[in-house]
Structure 1
Amino acid sequence: MRRSRISRSGKDKTGRSTPTLCYVPPTLADLRSRLQAGPPLGDAVLALALTAASLALITLPGLEPLARWLGIAPAVTRPPDATGLVLAALCTLPVAFRRSRPLLLLALTTLPEWALHSLAHPTGLSGLAALILLYTASAGRGLAMSLLALGMCVVRYAGYVLLVPGGLFWRGHLAVGTVIALCWLIGRTTRLRRAYLAELEERAARLERAREADTRAARAEERSRIARELHDVVAHHVSVMTVQAAAARRVLDNAPDAARDALTAIEQMGRAALAEMRNIVGVLRTGDPAERAPQPGMRDLPALVEQMREAGLAARLRVEGVARPLPPGIDLAAYRLVQEALTNSLRHAGPSAQAWVTVRYDPGELTVHVEDDGGRPDGKPAAGGTGGGHGLVGIRERVALYGGRLRIGPRPGGGFEVRAHFPLKDGT
Structure 2
Amino acid sequence: MRTTPASPRAWLRSHPLFGDSVLAVLLAAVSLAFAGLASGQDSASGRPPAYTFNVAAAVLVIGTCLLTALRRRWPFVLLCLAQLPQIALAVLRYEGGLVGLVTLILLYTVAAYRGLALSMVAAAVTLAGYAVSAVIAFDAGGWTQHTIVVVVTMTVWVGGRSVRLRRAYFAELVDRAERLERAREADTRAARAEERSRIARELHDVVAHHVSVMTVQAAAARKVLETRPEAAREALVAIEELGRTAMREMRGIVGVLRTDGESGELAPQPGMVDLPGLVDQMREAGLRAQLWIEGERPVIPPGIDLAAYRLVQEALTNSLRHAGPAARAWVTVRHEEGELLVHVEDDGHGGVETPQRGPGDRPGHGLVGIRERVALYGGVLRIGPRQGGGFEVRARFPLKD
Listed one character per residue, the Cα deviations across residues 207-265 of structure 1 (whole Å, up to 9, x for unaligned) are: 11111111111111111111111111111011101110110011000111111111111
What does 1:11-30 correspond to in 2, within 5 Å? none
Listed one character per residue, the Cα deviations across residues 72-115 of structure 1 (whole Å, up to 9, x for unaligned) are: xx97111x322212211122121111100001111111111111
Aligned partner of 2:106 in structure 1 is: 133
**Equivalent position to 2:36, from 49, 59, 72:** 59
Counterpart contact for 2:324–2:351, Cα < 8 Å: no
User: How far is the alpha carbon of 1:317 from its aligned partner?
Assistant: 2.1
Q: Is structure 2 residue 303 aligned with structure 1 residue 355?
A: no
Listed one character per residue, the Cα deviations across residues 157-213 of structure 1 (whole Å, up to 9, x for unaligned) are: 111111110322222211111111111111112112211211111111111111111
Distance across 1 between alignment mates of 2:96 and 2:139: 16
**Equivalent position to 1:331, from 305, 325, 328:** 305
CA RMSD after TM alignment: 2.7
Q: Is structure 2 residue 269 aligned with structure 1 residue 295?
A: yes
Listed one character per residue, the Cα deviations across residues 381-426 of structure 1 (whole Å, up to 9, x for unaligned) are: 2688989432112111211122211111122233221100111213
Distance across 1 between alignment mates of 2:307 and 2:351: 32
User: How far is the alpha carbon of 1:289 from its aligned partner?
Assistant: 12
Distance across 2 between alignment mates of 1:204 and 1:36: 24
Counterpart contact for 1:102–1:136, Cα < 8 Å: yes
Aligned partner of 1:193 in structure 2 is: 166
Q: Is structure 2 residue 18 aligned with structure 1 residue 41?
A: yes
Distance across 2 between alignment mates of 1:63 and 1:398: 96
What is the TM-score when the length of structure 1 is the normalising length?
0.83
Letter of the structure 1 residue corresponding to residue 64 of structure 2: C
Aligned partner of 1:30 in structure 2 is: none
CA distance 1:293–1:104, shift in 2 (3 Å): farther
Listed one character per residue, the Cα deviations across residues 16-66 of structure 1 (whole Å, up to 9, x for unaligned) are: xxxxxxxxxxxxxxxxxxx9998522212222222222222122479969x
Distance across 2 between alignment mates of 1:265 and 1:175: 101
Aligned partner of 2:209 in structure 1 is: 236
Letter of the structure 1 residue corresponding to residue 255 of structure 2: G
Letter of the structure 2 residue corresponding to residue 41 of structure 1: F
CA distance 1:62–1:91, shift in 2 (3 Å): closer
Counterpart contact for 2:248–2:267, Cα < 8 Å: no
Helix, strand or coil at the partner of 2:100: helix
What does 1:178-217 correspond to in 2, within 5 Å? 178-217=151-190
Q: Where in structure 1 are there 5+ consecutive unaligned residues?
A: 1-34, 66-73
Letter of the structure 2 residue corresponding to residue 54 of structure 1: S
What does 1:106-185 correspond to in 2, within 5 Å? 106-185=79-158
Q: Is structure 2 residue 398 aligned with structure 1 residue 423?
A: yes
Counterpart contact for 1:57–1:64, Cα < 8 Å: no
Counterpart contact for 1:246–1:383, Cα < 8 Å: no
Counterpart contact for 1:367–1:419, Cα < 8 Å: yes
CA distance 1:302–1:246, shift in 2 (3 Å): same
Q: Which moved more, 1:162-171 or 1:282-291?
A: 282-291
What is the TM-score when the length of structure 2 is the normalising length?
0.88
Counterpart contact for 1:403–1:422, Cα < 8 Å: yes
Helix, strand or coil at the partner of 2:62: helix
Letter of the structure 1 residue corresponding to residue 176 of structure 2: R
User: How far is the alpha carbon of 1:274 from its aligned partner?
Assistant: 2.1
Distance across 2 between alignment mates of 1:412 and 1:231: 29
CA distance 1:85–1:265, shift in 2 (3 Å): same
CA distance 1:37–1:306, shift in 2 (3 Å): closer
Q: Where in structure 2 are there 5+ consecutive unaligned residues?
A: 1-11, 43-47
Distance across 1 between alignment mates of 2:291 and 2:310: 15
Listed one character per residue, the Cα deviations across residues 329-365 of structure 1 (whole Å, up to 9, x for unaligned) are: 2222111101000101111123432222111222221
Letter of the structure 2 residue corresponding to residue 47 of structure 1: A
Aligned partner of 1:256 in structure 2 is: 229
User: How far is the alpha carbon of 1:132 from its aligned partner?
Assistant: 0.8
Helix, strand or coil at the partner of 2:138: coil
